Structure 1
């Protein structure tokens, strides 16, 4: 996206000292004509270093009619190219990186001449009861929490440590949501040329598992001025990942059973040439996978236009776009659907489209009215009103898409989750919270400092041992009802649970009783743990392990 008052000095520095042709294989780039001309006029050195065979150029020109160019550049120049185009264009990317020249030409051929097999897909709206019940269960608060969690990372850049950590958090959280659901698995997909993995949840279809429905979005972020600067990426694209995550939550908590296989995907390295999705889409093509529909969610929470959804009309499948518009008309008639263009290689839908699969991308606004804060330090939830109201619309539309494309194999209507046999106390009611060892969570005040301790003896029922969890997951002690239980960041070597000022927006204050354990929403793989007398009889957080000291229940 366009960033004003930025010079190209930093980019020149980024290019200095690079090697010449012959040191390593080139990076093959396909780029649209607008971006190509911008680089040729403003930073021609980006396109030097390798000679591209004239025959390849001619073959590509015959396919794309001059709308797309093929360029072989030094691999170390890809980051500089990405930064330059983010600075100069009012949209993402504009280029796609390929492993070989043949892959580049094949991708462009499919982009301009999609396979005829796509026309055989039957778009039928038939899951009325299921869709209406499920979209009614979507929640703004759940989407907002995920956006907040992901935007807390310094960045999610595909080569950064925090970029890897963010991807692993998504994997762990999706796994937690999946629980022990039959036929559901979650894994990371490693890429050879960078550290950040992609994340894929697969939900096996019960009747036609070879037919695959994909819903995805990129999980990385970038600062278009300098990759070392903060890049919270709340809209681009924590909002898309959060929207997908809400679809997962709603489907898993129902009795939905897909006939076709569903794959939920978080792609790595989108901001530098759609690299993660390109690899994954190409793998599906090489395996002969029958992908019957792809929905891309990239930026869903900035309401910049009168239209609620803006379907991208270029490098997408027209029939599937019309199907999505019909879904909105039927299930969300109060919302308005418009159309926009985003150009070549602007998001991961292009990877699937270029590999011959039907893809669509509903966008948050017209592209000339989209969020100007992306790719900067300002891409935060506060810049979008502090809520996820706009993204909630997309979660409803995406839920309708997944259910209508995958179809429900079960009988009857979705049922609510089974009640917890050991539910949390109602708001304002306090009970003792005991471990499997018969000790109770309590409070110890020491020299004016309040810390959390589990009592070492029998549960006494004292005020210091009475707790309540409210509807937001905040744990309040009766001894100090205005305080909340806080998990300190284990990555900094502090794995304690303490009392502090209640801030519901902070996930490290949100807890839930899950299968007899109490886990923290900020770090869902960490659980409240009483460490026993040997370790000083204190309570903190630790990874899941088999011990009665990690089992909790409300005493009646």
Structure 2
């Protein structure tokens, strides 16, 4: 297949973008590239392969073949504007942060408790139906741009109604799609140069002529609606973060993560200190037994995955009225916008609605409508996880903590031994469970008392979460590494 020098046509006076009507450059999993080439040899050229990634020159036909693989999720490839950018993307990258996620703590019990009680599934349902009502949010359609502008207006109205002068909402225009993205920023009161971000994509797709009917209720109106409920609750509780918090609604995820890739690259080029990024893409289809599935692909952050598990073990355990059950899954290469942040060296995670083999079979079709799920109860659980993540990572100064906080537990790991000591409490520790980043319990100890040691000889190298339970059923969690 000959390379076509003119990949995309821009009409400068009108800004019209003819998306992927010509072959284009991209990156994808090397094995997927080989298999796709076997199936469609005239429609994909593998330019180079490094670190299990391939830079490719691919046709629209081959892109749709990847996109329709529901188990892979998302496009399965990442759009690149040139051969040079595709080749550069498969080179190793240095991390942008120095494992700051491991320093995240859990001590905002009162603030989190107040926020969780305010989550309203009806608000999420209303927002999903509103986004579904555009008919299609395919990135070249006028309705896609309008959905972003309307979301910006809604977010601004929410901030204004809450009397917030520390909040701004901006539109981000893109080079490789006519559809813009929307970004809400809550400026940090003490450390404004440190960022924590939750994002999702607002575009939808149903490849072929059906892109005129692409409701995208689950993929990804559910994620954007969940994020909007997180914002609403934060405003209702007058949450003022110490770190800067951002919420993002990305354009053109469905054609190769275009919007998020441009924004993440801009942040990286400007050395923006993003401590953690979490993606909400599909939050409402109850396809599997558990509520949340943490994705464990190689580019995801083990540190951040461990922290999300720590949050759920602490705030959403089986004895909590806000219980969230969780498991793990894998979504493969470039499956959603968190890949853009990981690809630029940031810590990124992607909690998903189901095991990918059991995820919503209606996505990328005209049948991705809200009535498939029937309620927003599941998405409300993602909103609770999002609130926990934001409140605990961004922090605030004017909050009290529970009677028994993590600060009451001295905890040291050295020489394959865990040493613990419970301070300032009449309670005692009844048991401890150690959980790995796949969510599996790998060690359990009982009758711990107030202090003691536990051997870690059975554990391999990696990241873990220790969950201590007291006799009065309080939870204390600690992250640690076995070297």
With the shorter chain as reference, the TM-score category is 0.7 to 0.9
Partner deviation per Cα, 1:276-326 (whole Å, 9 max, x = no partner): 000000000000010001010000000111111100001210011010001
Change (3 A) 1:22 1:195: closer
Are the counterparts in 1 of residues 138 and 211 from structure 2 also a CA contact under 8 Å? Answer: no
Take 1:155 and 1:106, find their aligned partners in 2: how far apart are those partners?
A: 34
Displacement, 1:72?
Answer: 3.0
The residue that corresponds to 2:57 in the other structure is 72
Question: Is 2:121 the counterpart of 1:140?
Answer: yes
CA drift of 1:412 comes to 6.0
Name 1:30's counterpart in structure 2: 27
RMSD value over aligned CA atoms? 2.1
Instruction: Give the structure 2 partner of residue 211 of structure 1.
Output: 194
Shift of 1:173: 1.0
Aligned residues: 377
Give the one of 97, 104, 107 matched to 2:86: 104
- How much does 1:101 deviate? 4.0
2:367 aligned partner: 378
The reply on whether 1:360 has 2:349 as its aligned counterpart is yes
C-alpha deviation, 1:35, in angstroms: 2.9
Shift of 1:20: 5.8
CA offset at residue 246 of structure 1?
0.3
Distance 2:90 2:235 in 1: 37
Superposed displacement of residue 267, structure 1: 0.5
Residue 170 (structure 1) aligned to one of 147, 151, 160 = 151
Indicate conservation of the 8 Å contact 2:96/2:346, yes or no. Answer: no
Bigger-Rg structure (1/2): 1
Contact 1:108 1:354 in 2 (8 A): no
Structure-2 change in CA distance of 1:237 and 1:24 (3 Å)? closer
CA distance in structure 2 between the partners assigned to 1:228 and 1:298 by the alignment: 19
In the alignment, structure 1 residue 115 sits paired with structure 2 residue 95: yes
Give distance in 1, aligned partners of 2:251 and 2:382: 21
Q: TM-score, normalised by structure 1?
A: 0.65
Report the CA distance shift for 1:409/1:99 in structure 2 as closer, same or farther (over 3 A).
farther
CA 1:72 to 1:291, structure 2 compared with 1: closer, same or farther past 3 Å?
A: same
How does 1:213-228 map onto structure 2 within 5 Å? Answer: 213-228=196-211
Residue 86 of structure 2 is aligned to residue 94 of structure 1: no
Contact 2:176 2:258 in 1 (8 A): no
Query: Any conservation in 1 of the 2:252–2:258 contact (CA below 8 Å)?
Result: yes
Aligned pair partner of 2:330 in 341, 355, 364: 341
What is the rounded CA distance, in whole Å, between the counterparts of 1:134 and 1:231 in structure 2? Answer: 33
1:229 and 1:45 map into 2 onto residues whose CA distance is 28
Contact in 1 for aligned 2:203/2:250 (Cα 8 Å): yes
Q: Alpha carbons of 1:108 and 1:403: their partners in 2 closer, same or farther (altered >3 Å)?
A: farther
- Determine if the alignment matches structure 1 residue 409 to structure 2 residue 370: no
Gaps of 5+ in 2: 9-22, 318-322, 402-483
SS in 1 for 2:97: helix
What's the CA shift for 1:136?
1.0
1:46 CA drift (Å): 2.2
Give CA-to-partner distance per residue, 1:234-254, whole Å, 9 cap, x none: 000000000000000001122
Distance of 1:167 and 1:232 partners within structure 2: 15
Find the counterpart in structure 2 of residue 400 from structure 1: 388
Report if aligned partners of 2:97, 2:275 keep a CA contact under 8 Å in 1.
no
Query: Cα deviation per residue 1:142-172 (whole Å; 9 max; x = unaligned)?
Result: 0000000001111101111111111111111
Q: How far apart, CA to CA, are the structure 1 residues paired with 2:116 and 2:89?
A: 35
- Cα distance in 1 between the residues matched to 2:303 and 2:69: 33
CA positional deviation for 1:27:
3.4
Change (3 A) 1:203 1:379: same
Q: Is the 8 A contact 2:110 2:400 kept in 1?
A: no
User: Is there any run of 5+ residues in structure 1 with no aligned partner, and where?
Assistant: 1-17, 414-556
Matches within 5 A, 1:221-370: 221-314=204-297, 315-333=299-317, 334-370=323-359
Q: Alignment partner of 1:228: what SS?
A: helix
TM-score by length of 2: 0.74
Matched residue, 1:126: 107
Alpha-carbon distance between aligned partners in 2 of 1:140 and 1:184, rounded to the nearest angstrom: 24
Relative to structure 1, is the Cα distance of residues 159 and 376 closer, same or farther in structure 2, using a 3 angstrom cutoff?
same
Quote how far apart the aligned CAs of 1:98 are.
2.0
**8 Å contact 1:207–1:409 — kept in the other structure?**
no
**Per-residue displacement from partner, 1:118-160 (whole Å, max 9, x unpaired)?**
3234121111110111111110000000000001111101111
| Displacement after TM superposition at 1:329 (Å) | 1.1
Distance 1:153 1:38 in 2: 36
Distance 1:355 1:227, change over 3 A: farther
Task: Provide the rounded CA distance (Å) in 2 between the counterparts of 1:287 and 1:157.
Answer: 30
3-state SS of 1:266 partner: strand
Taking the aligned partners of 2:386 and 2:5, their CA distance within structure 1 comes to: 46
Q: Tell whether the 8 Å contact from 1:82 to 1:271 is kept in structure 2 after alignment.
A: no
In the alignment, what sits opposite 2:66? 85
1:196-227 Cα shifts (integer Å, max 9, x gaps)? 10000011000000000010000000003445
Native 8 Å contact 2:204 2:254 kept in 1: yes
CA contact (8 A) 1:82 1:273 kept: no
Aligned to 1:182: 165
Spell out the pairing of 1:413-452 with structure 2 (5 A cutoff): none
**Aligned partner of residue 308 in structure 2, secondary structure:** helix
Partner of 2:140: 159
The match for 1:521 is: none
Alignment map for 1:50-69 (pairs within 5 Å): 52=47, 57=48, 60-61=49-50, 64=51, 67-69=52-54
